[in-house]
A and B are shown apart, each in its own frame.
Chain A
Amino acid sequence: MPRIKEKIIETGLALAAVVTVLTTIGIIWVLFSQTIDFFSEVSIVDFLTDTQWTPLFADKHFGILPLVAGTFLTTTIAIIVALPIGLTIAVYLNEYAPKSFRKIVKPLLEILAAVPTVVYGFFALSVVTPFLQNIIPGMAGFNALSAGIVMGIMIIPLITSLSEDALFAVPKSLREASYGMGSTRLQTAFKVMVPAASSGIIVSVILGISRAVGETMIVAIAAGQQPRLTLNPLVPIETITTYIVQVSTGDVAHGSLEYRTIFAAGMALFVFTFILNNISYWVKKKFQEKYE
């Protein structure tokens, strides 16, 4: 009797695993087939080289570059904000902070990670943008800068948490060696601990980039919906994700070419994050053996 029970449980667990795999395959299948349909009508060269993205206008252009530029811009700003702050917090928590302080700050950071992104987007639009407009006159109401900054704030917990794990994994003996040579805490942190944890820190940054590239709500709310091939952070732009939202929520006819553009855009996004995740996996694997 217990044998049969075991079997049922086993089958149930296997099914659960199969469901996730099937879902993934399904998503990729839809993405691929629609993308292929899209490219049967639009040349892939135009898609990659045209500098205008106007599929919803009468004069249609299907160049993904403006959307990529928008994504690149907001992501870069986000990382410029998140990396120094996130890493500083990680170093502080690992090297300086008393245990009691660490116990308070870590859960607080995790709360930051739990804030819904729509709230971040609203925060960017209604708090950060007006604040920045006071400092930078002429800045547009929708812009890459405030969306990027707020996205950076959103990514801080991710970078802090992963970097701190990486720092924590550095053998204590290295810290002792450094102190024993007459290093200050700061020298120990940045000349020994951070370099020794660099692979983990790089992974945290890549995953942060991956998160920023795929982030949707913040940019959809605060960065605008104007595909524009620019690196100017003060004007409205559009990211790949925002475009997908715009079309998905709009009244584009199902099955039309306009409709298929979102799959092509989604494919581009998928390729980016797939590459980034693979790089992080590779970095992790390549440098992990170091202490073993």
Chain B
Amino acid sequence: MNKLEARNVNVFYGPNQVIKDVSISIKKNTVTAFIGPSGCGKSTFLRLFNRMNDYIDIFKMEGRIEIDGSDIYDKQIRVEELRKQIGMVFQKPNPFPKTIYENVIYGLRIQGIKDKKILDEVVEKSLKQAALWEEVKDKLKNSALALSGGQQQRLCIARTLAVAPTVILMDEPASALDPISSAKVEELIYELKSQYTIVIVTHNMQQAGRVSDTTAFFYMGELVEHDSTKMIFTNPKNERTQNYITGRFG
């Protein structure tokens, strides 16, 4: 069974249709890259999977999105529960103005977990997973805002990992970072693949090529092509995909 499944999804912002009849299947423990020019709907589509578009007043969706076979837009679904299962990392690092420690355990705090032993363990484990532990282990009580941009982003990833999701959505997670920090985040994505299903939106084609197993090319709200990353980059079936990846537009 596929981990994530979208069937005939249409999205409207008021009168504008921003996603047009998109269907896609995403396998467990793979990295899928969404690429496409600005405004193609890839971010909007990504945010459908943890229902982050729900807060937009004029947002309307048709179709069906499933995780492990169950409809996430079903009325029975509690959106808070869904988001514990599907974590998200944003474009700009957005740590809370709290300590590093408090940032990591935020998700557990809101679930009411108070056991210091559990919290300490989770902090260490998550920061290690996010390849940040060695850099911050002696200053867990310092403000997260004092970290560099790259460290902040890895902290945000650690914060997401701490609630033990099965899927991680990443919305251009490295675009606001310098090349070295960016490389670290990419490396991290590669390592996380064994345990998580990752969907990443990126503007950076090389990045998509490096980290992803499959790539989906969006254009004007449509899913033009979804195939193995190798196929997309060496032998795209669609002419528009070819034009985009060879840099003829976008």
A residues adjacent to B (C-beta < 8 A): 98-99, 171, 173-174, 176-184, 187, 191-192, 195-196, 290-291
Contacts and interface: CB of A to CB of B under 8 A. Distances in A.
Contacts of B52: 176, 179-180
Interface stretch (B12-20, B89-97, B186-194): B89-97
Contacts of B82: 182
Interface of B: 50, 52, 55, 57, 80-84, 87-88, 90, 92, 94-98, 106-107, 109-111, 145, 156, 159-160, 163
Contacts of A184: 80, 110
Given A181-B83, A183-B110, A290 B97 contact: yes
B163 A182 contact: yes
Nearest to A184: B80
A184 B112 CA distance: 13
Contact of A182 (B94, B97, B107, B145): B107
Given A173-B92, A187-B110, A181 B97 contact: no
A173 B94 CA distance: 6
A171 B94 CA distance: 9
A287 to B, nearest CB: 9
Given A178-B106, A196-B97, 15 more contacts: A171-B94, A176-B52, A176-B94, A178-B96, A179-B83, A181-B107, A181-B110, A181-B160, A182-B82, A182-B110, A187-B110, A195-B96, A195-B98, A290-B97, A290-B145
A174 B94 contact: yes
B97 A195 contact: yes
Contacts of A174: 94, 96-97
Nearest to B109: A191
A180 B83 contact: yes
A291 B92 CA distance: 13
Contacts of A291: 97
A177 B90 contact: yes
